[in-house]
Structure 1
Amino acid sequence: MRLDYGVTRAPARLFFGPGQRQAIGRAARDLGRKVLICTDERLARLPILQEILEDITVHNGLEATVFDATEPELPLAGILDCVAEYRSFDPDVIVGLGGGSCLDLAKLVSLLLSYEGPLSQYYGEFKVPGPVRPLIAVPTTSGTGSEVTPVAVLADPERTMKVGISSPALIPHTAICDPELTVTCPPGLTAISGADALAHAVEAFAAVSRPPDPRMAMERVFVGKNTLSDHYALLAIKLIFESLRRAVADGGDIEARSAVMLGATYAGLAFGSGGTAIAHAIQYPVGAQTHTAHGLGVGILLPYTMDFNMQAASASYAEVGRVIGAASADQPDEEAGRAAIAAVRKLFGDIGIPASLRNIALTEDDLDSLSVLSMNAARLVENNPAAVDPESIKQILMRAL
């Protein structure tokens, strides 16, 4: 673990624990009088939304309205529809309630209510001109870490794959992480969300290590491996490894749900400065072609990208192996690192993540185009501990088939 440089970007307030959703209304009251809740159709039908609305309106005297049409993978059209529908409402504060798409929708709606479009002018890093309207992020899955990150991802039909907007201005003002909100998350979604969270932590912990230039955090959202992201990443890895199997097997196990949610939040804090790497870079075109969930693609790819990175990241992977109990303190780094990769494969197999990209309908014919497209995620490719080119990505994809 490096000790010469560290960066953390985080919400002003982060509340964690069972029942903490009851703080949403009071938190919103600190930020304004008019509240827009961004959620999806499934959550809108659950009693929990009425409970939250009553807290905001009756107990805290605020005005609130709900957008409940968030779609998976967050298409651009849905963002624009929400902005058009609620611009006249002119909310002071926006609550994202749901999975990563709901939280990212809230971020991007806040951006477009604060500054002129088109949204495409903000694609990339550090292009948001200043603060956006305050956000309260309330996750109901344990995966993306969007409640604490400076990143929002969307699907633009003019782009081949999903695009990101990365800026510290998008970090929610308040994150409220209540594990009781995840108990209705089905086993399959729990598994792929957890795989995504683990990938965030592993990739941040093994990211490229850059010289500690004082200007770097002002010029790069993802600065690479650093002492503060390492701290959060190792905590996340330990929590997720210890509890994800239990959370998938028994959604009502609140202890396991709490551990996985805390791990996902720590993983978000880790990659919010440390960044992710080629498992995520490759998943973007894979997900665009197969129309499969982000966490599923990342879960399939992570062990293969760890294999590829082994020589460049053996010390980091060895530390992962030791913190999860897959390796002992006296084992050589390469042996301990291999044990960590084997443990990731075993965990993902146990929770139902397939071992091959063939399970999501990819074939050898897809590899050349996917290899080239993966390189377009430059900020992730540059963050990888080993040098990457289209041919090396093709080799990873061949093994993942």
Structure 2
Amino acid sequence: MQNRLGLGLVRQPRTVLFGPGQRRQLPQIAASYGRRCLLVTDARMASTPEFQEIAAQLEAAGFVVFLYDGALPDLPRANVMEAAAAQADRGIDVIVGIGGGSSMDLAKSVSAVLSHGGDVRDYFGEFQVPGPTLPVITVPTTGGTGAEVTSLAIVFDEERGAKMAIADVRIEPVAAIIDPELTLSCPRGLTAATAADALSHLVEAFTARPKNPTPEQLATQIYVGKNRITDLFCAEGLRLMNGALARVVANPADLEARSDVMFAAYCAGMAINTTGTAAAHAIQSPIAAIGHVAHGFGVGALLPYVMRLNLPYATAEFAAIGRLLEVAGPDQPELEQARAGIERIERLLELVGAPLELRALGVTEDHVAQIASASVKATRLVLNNPAPLTEATVAALLVRGIAGDRSWWTAP
């Protein structure tokens, strides 16, 4: 768990604009890329006054605006292909993804398919997009996924029954406009689930394995380990979450608290764009097919058990989290600091109403072997985890999670 190279690396959009009301800068930013604009969103967002204002401002600025408002949760492959086919002959110059993670990932996926044809499956994997793509601008409406700044698009392949990823710097958004006002109308349940997702991103990125990559690995792999710069983003994100989550829960109209949570989610996105996520996300993917629980609640429910699994391998990192979250002092033994950090993360998850045991996700002992087998196939994520992951380890962890066993076990 040492960054022996002293490496610092993040990948990021060319422009990131953050702040209340900043969505109104979209026409000026989009104008650099052309005048034929495709807006990608979901049906709920498309019906809101805020979305209609955005579309009207683009039209008033001289854009020809096309709309696809069929983005679906967990982004099915068929959704990508339908959206791309509908735009094939329109001469799109720029794509704007407005909404949650699925809408923004749909925008990135459609960009690849419109630019190079074929099936979105052709681009699953790392660096499989053969050339430049249509520019994508992201406008998130939730504080959680971090998709506004990542080089990833997560697509559910119905035939494989698994989530797949386009992982390529060529689909990195050219700009992200992060306006916390857009989260004010976010339903309470979605606010909670996305906050749990962002919190899991911050923890997994901060405790991810440093990989000390070679120049060749830096050029060919998206996830190249935690490093000095990702740690800075994680530290700021954790600090903001620690102070803002309770305020958002108490008063969803608190714009300052919404802004802090959204900035924390941005920090998390910046970190996982280089570190990747780890065990909680690898295990959640097959669980999603069982209980159909919101992604954020899935990873949130797994996080207490994943943190315990990783504690012996990332004690210093969890101790640092304890100090960042102001529940541990430097004079305490390192293990006490680390446990305090883990308990505070669990308390933050409880504050937003996230379940902390796996039965709440519909997982039973009958599912353990199936989930464990599928989890370890997510090699891209497994290799990021500080503790080694095997089918046996994951199965034992799942049994702990089903029982809600949050004692300080040293092995699952």
What is the TM-score when the length of structure 2 is the normalising length?
A: 0.95
Partners of 2:147 and 2:336 lie apart in 1 by 34
Which of 28, 47, 53 is the aligned partner of 1:45? 47
Shift of 1:214: 2.4
Q: Which moved more, 1:118-127 or 1:4-13?
A: 118-127
Q: Which moved more, 1:170-179 or 1:42-51?
A: 42-51
Conservation of the 8 A alpha-carbon contact between 2:212 and 2:224? no
Q: What whole-Å deviation, never above 9, does each CA across 1:111-149 have from its counterpart, x for those lacking one?
A: 100012121121111111122100110000011100000
Partners of 1:353 and 1:192 lie apart in 2 by 7
Question: 1:311 matched to which residue of 2?
Answer: 312
Shift of 1:268: 0.3
Partners of 1:165 and 1:334 lie apart in 2 by 38
| 1:13-52 → structure 2 map (5 Å cutoff) | 13-52=15-54
3-state SS, counterpart of residue 120 of structure 1:
helix
- Please tell me whether residue 132 in structure 1 is matched to residue 137 in structure 2: no
What is the letter of the counterpart of residue 370 of structure 2? S
What is the letter of the counterpart of residue 13 of structure 2? P
Conservation of the 8 A alpha-carbon contact between 2:80 and 2:120? no
Question: 1:256 matched to which residue of 2?
Answer: 257
Question: 1:163 matched to which residue of 2?
Answer: 164
Conservation of the 8 A alpha-carbon contact between 2:290 and 2:362? no
Question: 1:61 matched to which residue of 2?
Answer: 62
Conservation of the 8 A alpha-carbon contact between 1:186 and 1:251? no
3-state SS, counterpart of residue 159 of structure 1:
coil
What is the letter of the counterpart of residue 325 of structure 1? E
Question: 2:355 matched to which residue of 1?
Answer: 354
Question: 1:9 matched to which residue of 2?
Answer: 11
Conservation of the 8 A alpha-carbon contact between 1:188 and 1:248? no
Shift of 1:162: 1.0
Partners of 2:298 and 2:329 lie apart in 1 by 30
Conservation of the 8 A alpha-carbon contact between 2:244 and 2:257? yes
What is the TM-score when the length of structure 1 is the normalising length?
A: 0.98
Partners of 2:26 and 2:395 lie apart in 1 by 46
Question: 1:150 matched to which residue of 2?
Answer: 151
Shift of 1:303: 1.2
Partners of 1:175 and 1:211 lie apart in 2 by 29
What is the letter of the counterpart of residue 22 of structure 1? R
Partners of 2:215 and 2:94 lie apart in 1 by 33
3-state SS, counterpart of residue 35 of structure 1:
strand
3-state SS, counterpart of residue 30 of structure 1:
helix
Aligned residues: 400
3-state SS, counterpart of residue 247 of structure 1:
helix
Question: 2:333 matched to which residue of 1?
Answer: 332
Q: Which moved more, 1:249-258 or 1:325-334?
A: 325-334
Partners of 1:212 and 1:84 lie apart in 2 by 39
What is the letter of the counterpart of residue 212 of structure 2? P
Partners of 2:238 and 2:169 lie apart in 1 by 24
Partners of 2:249 and 2:89 lie apart in 1 by 42
Shift of 1:90: 2.1
3-state SS, counterpart of residue 132 of structure 1:
coil
Partners of 2:171 and 2:338 lie apart in 1 by 35
Conservation of the 8 A alpha-carbon contact between 1:240 and 1:263? yes
Partners of 1:327 and 1:398 lie apart in 2 by 30
Partners of 1:297 and 1:195 lie apart in 2 by 9
3-state SS, counterpart of residue 87 of structure 1:
coil
Percent identity for Structure 1 against Structure 2: 44
Shift of 1:248: 2.5
Q: What whole-Å deviation, never above 9, does each CA across 1:73-103 have from its counterpart, x for those lacking one?
A: 1111111111111111121000000000000
Shift of 1:292: 1.6
3-state SS, counterpart of residue 340 of structure 1:
helix
Partners of 1:77 and 1:248 lie apart in 2 by 35
Partners of 2:305 and 2:267 lie apart in 1 by 24
Partners of 1:4 and 1:97 lie apart in 2 by 37
3-state SS, counterpart of residue 310 of structure 1:
helix
Q: What whole-Å deviation, never above 9, does each CA across 1:274-302 have from its counterpart, x for those lacking one?
A: 11100000000001222121111001001
What is the letter of the counterpart of residue 196 of structure 1? D
Question: 1:244 matched to which residue of 2?
Answer: 245
Partners of 1:137 and 1:69 lie apart in 2 by 17
| 1:2-401 → structure 2 map (5 Å cutoff) | 2=3, 4-58=6-60, 60-401=61-402
Conservation of the 8 A alpha-carbon contact between 2:212 and 2:225? no
Question: 2:407 matched to which residue of 1?
Answer: none
Partners of 1:134 and 1:207 lie apart in 2 by 30
Give the aligned CA root-mean-square deviation in angstroms: 1.1
What is the letter of the counterpart of residue 388 of structure 2? A
3-state SS, counterpart of residue 215 of structure 1:
helix
Which runs of structure 1 show a deviation greater than 3 angstroms over 4 or more consecutive aligned residues?
none
Shift of 1:348: 1.1
Q: Which moved more, 1:4-13 or 1:116-125?
A: 116-125
Partners of 1:123 and 1:49 lie apart in 2 by 31
Q: Which moved more, 1:2-11 or 1:332-341?
A: 2-11
Partners of 2:390 and 2:381 lie apart in 1 by 12
Shift of 1:224: 1.1
Shift of 1:172: 0.3
Partners of 1:6 and 1:215 lie apart in 2 by 16
Question: What residue ranges of structure 1 are gaps of 5+ in the alignment?
Answer: none
Shift of 1:247: 1.4
